[in-house]
Chains A and B, each alone.
Chain A
Amino acid sequence: MLPAILFLLNKEVGAKPKIKGRSFKLLKNKNVLLLMLVAVFLVFGVFGCGGPATPPADEDAGEEPAAEFEGEVLLGIMVPTTGSEASDGGDMENAALLAVEEINAAGGVLGHKIVTSTGDDGCDPSKATAAASKLISEEVFSVVGGYCSGATLPTLKLYGDAGIPFVIAASNATTLIDENPGWAFMINSTGDAQAAKALEWFEGLGVETISLVDDGSAFSVDLKDQTKAAWEAAGYAVLTEDRVETGTQDFSAVVTKIMDAGPDAVYWTAYQGLGALLIMQLRQNGYEGIIMVGDGSSAQELIDLAGPDAEGVYCTAPPKVDFLPAAQDFISGYKEMFPREPGAYAGLMRDATYLLVDAVERAGSFDGEAIKAALAATDSFEGLSGPVEFTPQNTLNRSNFVIIVAKDGKWALAE
């Protein structure tokens, strides 16, 4: 990469001095400019987190297919590998590549070797449309991926029209359900499932009254509203609903209100930074009830920040591989192949890839219609994140959220 940029720069700088005028004086000194740019480049190399460390694996170029394969089939991967969500997207691509390698090592699917092609949706609807068109024109037999719901949305019709089955690993907005022409299958629980999980867990703990706290972000307010609706529909009471501002540190007024109301449990629906502050201030003011936080606070950072006060805090979390006992082999395999942690959605992406291969084997062909029918008929497929079965709307028929609990300074599965 660096030599290529230097080469381009050299060309640029070489062309400039032809322009007359004093303002270009600085540019004439090629060496100084080059050194400065190299320095800037190096600095960004050090500070920036760097792009996702994916191997250049669009096609397994140079590797001859092993003799026992009858041929190759092309699997499409659609994830954001650039843009703001490139980190999670890169994890998902890696997980799919790892799964494909394992499947090929075990003899491929229906005697065929799987090769992959990645379409970058950039977490952007227009880029996603382009990525989908690219994958369709390459004649992939199926697509796995889908991270940002907004980017996934416009591709559903494209894949549907082309007759290409699409297993959606992460996107889970409820709007996807309405736009789905029937060719897409969502293996991540939709938004309302988290509230249902929280309700189920509170009931199991014998909680009857709760207080809800959000930070005003659309995501946290939505979770709060869903929880409130589910909780009240079940016949229980929400004692207080409060909001804290992002950037604030002082929750004492909220905490005093909660202490006054005296709920059995407090549910925080936003992110870990403020969540840690809320937990500490609740405990410091003598709150001894149950505290639960939403998936936005499921990072280890919450426990690191809140320290001993975090002990015993529950969290409704997405099925991250770290918490799944079945995923230990996957994690070590992942770390061996890629120099990074698997991230939140790698497990789901791996499940999506295996599910698709399973469906192809059950269908007995690479025909789109046959695969679609096989996917719809999926019967307790065992993924890392639990069994997969679909509703008539092609969504997961259960909540795949898990309850984790802070124990000895780490998240651990509570169930």
Chain B
Amino acid sequence: MTFWEIFLQQLFNGLLIGSFYGLVAIGYSMVYGIIKLLNFAHADIYMSGAFVGLITLSLFANTFVGNAWLGIVLSLLISMLLVGMLGVLIQRVAYRPMLKAPRLSILITALAVSMLLYNTVMLLTQGQYKPFRTGLTHDSFFVGPLRLTETRVVLLVAAIALMIILHLFITRTMYGKAMRAISLDRDTCQLMGINVFQIVAITFFVGSALAAAAGIMAGVYYGTVHFYMGFLIGLKAFTSAVIGGIGIIPGAMLGGLLLGLLESFSTQIPFVGTVWKDVFSFVFLILFLLFRPTGILGRAESERM
């Protein structure tokens, strides 16, 4: 392969993994924007989404024999709904009673929820990897020098479509406007008659549903799911959210894409390779944050969301 062929292939790899990071990062960013909570449980919601998707997909296993994508889309929608409600439930039980408590207390409940989800799935699956069978073939085709499969193209398009829909939701609807208002000043919003609890619940619903979508897409793409799958991606998505400017949604998407591309390209650099790629990308990020502490899109006094 020539330099440009490898460049293009790694660019595509980076975009795809980066869009997964971005989808998860959005959830971190939204929740932080609205209630200033680092929601540690978010990575486990991503993982739960993958498992709920695995279950719903197996229910449709015999219904859509001819068209695998139909089953996947249907189970994606159902899982997004279910996991979104799980997010709302977690918010209601573990976070809402703590909203007036010191910020550290709510951080601890978030950790507890994370442990609960993680260990429950570990017990139920006995810590084993589970195959995620979709019935999709991986026949590849070439666009110029780029080797693509149907799955990869559809997933990348779907991830970007989800981000655009979310952006429209935040900027063009009343709910989005309310979210942005709450992130600026919660108490005033309450005085103005905005149902703050309802908006917080919607935020959790949307964030969790997106994480579930990312989880299922990862299952479809990689072919296996595991109780541990959320840990690393959670860490990286959180990092993406910070690079992008935490609380700012387009920032989370950009941060995810940037991190994905960095990782993908750093493997090609001599002496960095796959062994040092994480060190390389994180050193780069430290330097970046030193010069721009608020992240790509963050300003010292910006409107969050």
Contact = CB atoms under 8 A, between A and B. Distances in A.
Interface of A: 47, 216, 241-245, 247-250, 252-254, 256-257, 259-260, 272-273, 276-277, 280-281, 283-286, 301, 304-307
Given A257-B274, A280-B222, A247 B267 contact: no
Given A252-B16, A252-B17, A307 B223 contact: yes
A342 to B, nearest CB: 20
A280 B229 CA distance: 17
Contact of B147 (A272, A277, A286): A286
Interface of B: 1, 6, 9-10, 13-14, 16-17, 20, 123, 128-129, 131, 133, 138, 140, 147, 149, 218, 222-224, 226, 228-229, 231-233, 263-264, 267-268, 273-275, 277-278
Contacts of A256: 6, 9-10, 13, 267
A131 to B, nearest CB: 29
Most B-side CB within 10 Å, residue of A242, A253, A283, A284: A253
Contacts of A304: 131
A304 B131 CA distance: 7
Contact of A273 (B133, B224, B264): B224
Contact of B277 (A247, A253, A285, A305): A253
A252 B13 contact: yes
A241 B272 CA distance: 12
A260 B222 contact: no
Nearest to A255: B13
Given A242-B273, A272-B129, A285-B147, 18 more contacts: A242-B275, A245-B232, A245-B278, A249-B218, A249-B222, A249-B233, A252-B13, A252-B16, A252-B264, A253-B277, A257-B268, A273-B129, A280-B222, A284-B140, A286-B140, A305-B131, A305-B223, A307-B131
A38 B138 CA distance: 52
Nearest to B21: A250
Contact of B224 (A216, A241, A243, A277): A277
Contacts of B275: 216, 241-243
B273 A248 contact: no
Nearest to B17: A250
Interface residue SS majority, chain A? helix
Contacts of A285: 140, 147
A249 B277 contact: no
Most A-side CB within 10 Å, residue of B1, B147, B223, B231: B223
Nearest to A256: B9
Interface residue SS majority, chain B? helix
A243 B274 contact: yes
A276 B129 contact: yes
Contacts, number: 89
Nearest to A283: B138
B231 to A, nearest CB: 5
B149 to A, nearest CB: 6
A306 to B, nearest CB: 8
A391 B106 CA distance: 64
Contacts of B14: 253
Given A273-B129, A285-B147, A254 B223 contact: no
Contact of B133 (A216, A247, A248, A307): A307
Given A247-B231, A253-B263, A286-B147, A305 B224 contact: yes
Nearest to A271: B129
Closest 5 CB pairs of A and B: A252-B13, A253-B267, A242-B274, A247-B232, A284-B138
Contacts of B1: 259-260
B138 A253 contact: no
Nearest to A213: B274
A250 B222 contact: yes
A243 B273 CA distance: 8
A293 B6 CA distance: 26
B128 to A, nearest CB: 7
Contacts of A280: 222-224
16 contacts: A241-B275, A245-B278, A247-B231, A249-B218, A249-B233, A253-B10, A253-B264, A253-B268, A253-B277, A272-B129, A276-B224, A280-B222, A280-B224, A284-B138, A304-B131, A307-B223
Given A253-B267, A273-B224, A260 B274 contact: no
Contacts of B147: 259, 285-286
Contacts of A249: 218, 222, 224, 229, 233
A277 B129 CA distance: 10
A326 B152 CA distance: 47
Most B-side CB within 10 Å, residue of A248, A249, A305, A307: A249
A252 B263 CA distance: 10
A163 to B, nearest CB: 44
Nearest to A247: B232
Contact of B274 (A244, A273, A283, A306): A244
Contacts of A306: 223
Contacts of B128: 301
A241 B267 CA distance: 11
A360 B291 CA distance: 76
Nearest to A280: B223
Contacts of A248: 232
Nearest to A248: B232
A283 B13 CA distance: 16
Contact of B228 (A216, A247, A253, A259): A247
A259 B142 CA distance: 15
B268 to A, nearest CB: 7
Contacts of A259: 1, 9, 147
B131 to A, nearest CB: 5
A238 to B, nearest CB: 13
B35 to A, nearest CB: 28
